[in-house]
Amino acid sequence: MRKLLAVLPLLSLMGAQCGGAGNCTVAKDATTGVATITCPDGTSVDVAPGQNGTNGTNGENGTNGEKGDTGAAGKDGVNGQDGTNGTNGENGTNGEKGDTGAAGKDGVNGQDGTNCMVTKNLDAGVTTIACADGTTATVEDGVDGQKGDKGDTGSAGADGQTPTVTSILPGGESGNCAGVGGVKVQVGTGTPVYVCNGAAGPAGDAGTPGESAVVTTLPLIGEAGNCVCRGGVKVQVGTGTPAYVCNGDAGKHDGGDGVCVANGACSNGYKDNGVGTCVAQSAACASGYKDNGVGTCVAQSAACASGYKDNGVGTCVAQNAACASGYIGANCELAVALVAVAGGTASGDDWSYAIVAPATTVTVSNFKLDKTEVTVAQYAACVTAGTCTAPDTETSCNWQVEGRNNHPINCVDWHQAKAFCTWAGKRLPTEEEWQWAASNGGTTTYPWGATTPDDTHAQWSGVAFKSGTAEVGTHTAGNTTGGIQDMSGNVWEWTASAYSAGSTAKNFRGGSWNFNDGDYLRAAYRNSYYPDLRNGVIGFRCVQ
C-alpha cells in the first residue's frame, strides 16, 4: 500500500507532462521496478520506484498493572480446654503439617512456696496475713477520733463612722487656717484635721491692653506679592507680621506692569518668560527657555520663529546673522571645534622665512585654531549658502564623492579657502600662527613631538603608499599637545602669508597623503604655489 501511495502523485504530475488526447498506459519492469508511462502522442516517461519508507519507531511499553490487595488473615482458632492425660496410644502415621496455630496464653505464675499473702477487707477494715506455712494473722484498722463541736458565731462588729468635711472660711476656725480658709475633716467626735488653702500672693499689676487687629481690604493687584490679581484682606496687629486672606482665583495675573490681565496674556511691552510670569520684552526667558526671535519664550529645544535660526548655542537670530563661535551652516547646524592656543615668542633658524637669513625671533598672540581641517560637509554648507564656489572634481578630489563628507576638502584654491573662513566668521592663519601651533609653541619638531613619523601619526606614503585622504581626526597619535589634529599629512594647508616678500605665491604647510619623505611633515617645513592652484593634496583650516 505504501508504494502505491508513492506512485500516485507521480502519475498526477506526469499527466501534465504527457500531452495529447487519450489515456496513457503504464508498464512496469518487474526486474528493475521502473514504471514506463506512454501517452497516445508518443511521449513517455520512466518513473523509478519510490524508496521504501523508513520503519516507524517502536511503541512504548505499557505500564505494569497495579498490585492486588493482600488477602485478609484467617481468624485464630479457639484454644480447647486441657483434658486429662489418657493412656498413650500407638503412634499414628504422621499427617501433613498443618498451619501453625496461634500461640497459647501465658499461664498464671504460681505462688512462691514461703511467701505470705496480705489481704485487706476495705468494708470491714480488717487486714489478713496468710503465709504458706498455714499461719495467719488478723489486724484491725484503728478507730478514727471524733470531730469536735463547732464554736458559737461571734457578734457582728459596729459599723465605722463616715468622716465629715466642713469648709473653713478665710477667718479660720479655732486658730486653724486663719486668713486663708480651707476644710476640716473629722470622724465623729475625733480630733479634726485641718487642710488650709495657700496664702494669697500680692495682687499683680494690671496688664497692658492688647492692640486691636487692623483689617485692610486689598486691591485686586494684591500687596507685596500676596493675593496678586485676586484681592482679599490683610489682618495685622500693630507692626506684627500680617496675615493675608485672598479671594478666589479670578483667572488673571500681573501683566508685568502691575495691571491684572487674563492668564496667558501680558501687558504691552511685556512677554511670558516661559513659566507664566510676564517680564519686560528685553528681559531673558526663564531657565530652559529661549526667545524665538520675535519676543516669545519657547522651550530651548523648540524651533525659532520663521525667518530666524538657532545660532548653535540656543539663541534665535535672524536667518542672515552670523552663527555663534564654533558653528557654521545655513542654520548653524555644523559644529566646528576650536582649540585655544596661547601665544608667545620663539626664535631660531626655523622661524627665518628668507632664502638666506639669520635666526629670527617671532611673537604670536593668543588665537583659536580649527581642531581639524575643514571638511567636505562644512565647505558644502558655504556653497549652499551661495558664498563659496564649488571645488574641482578631478582625480583625488573629495568634492561630491560618496562617503567623503568627513574627509578634508581639497581641490580648492587660496581664494576659495579665504572666502570660506570669512563666511564662517574666521580667517586663514598666518604662517607664524600655523607653525606655532604645529610645533607646540616652538618646542617640538613634529606636532606629536620628536619621534620619527609612522602611519599612526599621519596620512602619508612614507611607510606604504596612500591613494588619497583619510577622515579628519583618524591619526590621533599625531595630535599636538593641545589636541589639534592632522597638522602633518592628509593635505597641505593654505596660510594667509606670502612665501616671500614681494611674491604673489602663497605659503602652505603640513605635508600630504602622497608624500613619502618625513621631512615634509616637520612643523617648520614650508611650501608654496600661486593662489589659483587647485590640487588634490591641498586643503586648509581657519583661525579665530
Other CB atoms within a 10 A radius of the CB of residue 55 amount to: 6
- 378's grid cell: 562644512
Other CB atoms within a 10 A radius of the CB of residue 338 amount to: 18
Return d(Cα 15, Cα 8) in angstroms, integer.
11
Residue 371: strand, helix, or coil = coil
Return d(Cα 111, Cα 161) in angstroms, integer.
80
pLDDT of amino acid 88: 45
Helix, strand, coil % (nearest 5) of the chain?
10, 25, 65
- DSSP secondary structure code for residue 127 in this structure: E
In the chain, residues under CATH classification 3.90.1580.10 are: 334-539
Contacts of 338 (CB under 8 A, 6+ apart): 325, 326, 368, 369, 370, 371, 544
Q: Which helix (H) or strand (E) holds 270?
A: strand 270-272
pLDDT of amino acid 78: 44
Q: Give yes or no for a contact between 288 and 274, defined as CB atoms under 8 angstroms apart.
A: yes
Say what the alpha-carbon torsion angle 320, 325, 326, 329 is, to the nearest 10 degrees: 0
Identity at 169, one-letter amino acid code: L
CATH class label, 334-539: alpha beta
β-strand 289-291 against 297-299: which pairing, if any?
Answer: antiparallel
β-strand 232-237 against 243-246: which pairing, if any?
Answer: antiparallel
Other CB atoms within a 10 A radius of the CB of residue 373 amount to: 25
Return d(Cα 436, Cα 344) in angstroms, integer.
9
**Weakly modelled stretches of the chain, pLDDT under 70:** 1-26, 35, 37, 45-118, 120, 126-132, 137, 139, 141-161, 200-201, 203-204, 206-207, 352-359
Residue 380 has φ and ψ, to the nearest 5°, of -60, -35
pLDDT digits (tens, 9 = 90+) for 432-460: 999 999 999 999 999 999 999 999 999 99
β-strand 492-498 against 538-539: which pairing, if any?
Answer: parallel
Q: Which contacts qualify for 244-251: CB closer than 8 Å, 24 or more apart?
A: 244/218, 246/218, 246/222, 250/220
**If phi over 0 gives left and psi between -120 and 50 gives alpha, with beta otherwise, what is residue 516?**
alpha
> Residue 515 CA to chain centroid, in angstroms?
51
Can you tell me which residue has the cell 593641545? Answer: 482
Residue 417: strand, helix, or coil = helix
- Bridge partners of residue 493, in order along the sequence: 509, 539
Q: Is the model's pTM score more than 0.85?
A: no
- Say if residue 356 is exposed, middle or buried (CB neighbours under 10 Å; 0-12, 13-18, 19+): exposed
